Amino acid sequence: MTRSGHGMARGGASTVDAMRVLICDDEPAIRLLYRAAIEREGIQVDEAADGIECLDVAERTKPDLVILDLYMPRRDGLAVLPLLRAACPSARVLVVSAHAAVEVFEQSRARGATACFDKLSFLPRIPALLERYGTAA
């Protein structure tokens, strides 16, 4: 059973073992909520408060999974996505936004997002998303 209690990956390995997640969001309260939910699953978490810091942390830590807000200062998520994909090609990128229209999520996918989610419903989905996207791409 994985640390989250959700089961085993093929070959008996946990899908979240040694996983590293980068949370990129300009709202400290959101980062704190996401961090608590992810660390509860036994996963290492790094944080960034804007697009520039996101790229810097990603290049240093090489996360397996990135949770990326679209609307951040200094460089927004849409601008960061292709650079993030180049810096960490095996990372899965989950885009979250409370304000994005369907077209913006489509642009996100076109620029390399693995999946897109409404920020307001993202928190309770974290355990299942870690299980789903926690393996190597």
Average pLDDT across the chain, whole number:
85
**What pLDDT score does 101 carry?**
81
pLDDT digits (tens, 9 = 90+) for 38-87: 999 999 999 999 999 999 999 999 999 999 999 888 888 899 999 999 99
Domains of the chain: 18-132 (3.40.50.2300)
Task: Specify the length of the chain in residues.
Answer: 137
Alpha helices in the chain, H assignment, sequence order = 28-39, 51-61, 77-87, 102-110, 126-133
**C-alpha span between 12 and 28 (Å, rounded):** 36
Q: What is the pTM of this model?
A: 0.84
User: Are 6 and 128 in contact, with CB atoms under 8 Å apart?
Assistant: yes
pLDDT digits (tens, 9 = 90+) for 74-130: 888 899 999 999 999 999 999 999 886 888 899 999 999 999 999 988 999 999 999
